[in-house]
Amino acid sequence: MGLSIDEQKAVERFRKAVVEPSQTQLVILDFWAEWCGPCKALAPVLEKVAAEYADKGVVLAKINVDEERFIAAQFQVRSIPTVYAMFQGQPVADLTNARSESQLKAVLDQLLAQLPVAGSTGGAPNAPQGPTPEELAQYLKMGEEALAGGDAQRAASIFAQITEFAESNAGAHAGLVRALVQLGELDQARQVMARIDSEPRLAADPAIAPARAALELASTRVDDGQLAALRAAAAADPADMDAQFAYAEAAFAAGERDAAADTLLAMIAADREWNEGAARAKLLKIFEATGLEDEWVVGVRRRLSRVLFG
């Protein structure tokens, strides 16, 4: 895996302390440090609630960020205290803002009602209980917020957990594909899409369309050298529509969505009928993949309207 000896040891410690217990229990994972005042204030709350919920399958694990820098880096811990709920090796909720006993218990109760935690009243181990529509909506919202906030890894974990309990939920499957695309895990995203396509009713759900568009757009991803070459070719001859289009595709796939939009808008302004309106069609697909309510999309749609209608 390319890890140093110390990193391998850190991973093994984490596996024993967190991953293994989380296979059947809900682990409250607390990232802290000796010098952190808020961490010390939160610790008694976490310890008290974990003790009260022990018979429901909840345990507390603490990670000193000064001693386990590698693990903290893998979780992208930028401030402490940072607290996650872990189940089956994956973060299923961010508990950082649950600073009071009542807040923490409320989140734990919701999680225990959905997850097959050993000892919880939500269900027997490995026998998931279906979430209520309200709970499902809450977790979908949590996944979407993580995705919108740039935490694609956490979003993927949340959506993957939802698909285990709600196998026919199109929103969760679509979110998982979009999160995997953001992570650059295109092969995994294609595997999820293949499972979706094997279920005609799921594949036909409108929620899948943005995920399908995102995966299709990501398939044009190239390496940095190729992207630079396409950028140079487009800059050298603004009238070469093929060069402009190739660069716009690659730029969006590389995360340079402003450059992609600027290029496609310029193409539409120059010749909206080029290649049967390919530039406008590509821009609309980008809107679909990103989300029509996204602020960036709203802004670019205004620019497109000005180009089309003056």
By annotation, the residues acting in catalysis are 36, 39
Q: Is residue 153 within a helix (H) or strand (E), and if so which, with residue range?
A: helix 152-165
User: What is the DSSP code (8-state) at residue 100?
Assistant: S
For 187, the token pair is 């092969």
Question: Would you call 151 helix, strand, or coil by DSSP?
Answer: coil
**To 5 degrees, how large is the angle CA 102–CA 106–CA 108?**
115
**Per the omega criterion (within 30 degrees of 0), is the bond before 81 cis?**
yes
3-state SS assignment for residue 82? strand
3-state secondary structure of 59: strand
Provide the pairing of β-strand 90-94 with 58-64.
Answer: unpaired
CA angle 18, 159, 87 (to 5 degrees): 20
Residues in the chain: 310
Token duo for residue 178: 């979009």
Contact 138, 144 (CB under 8 A): no
Instruction: State how far the Cα of 109 lies from the Cα of 53, in Å rounded to an integer.
Output: 10
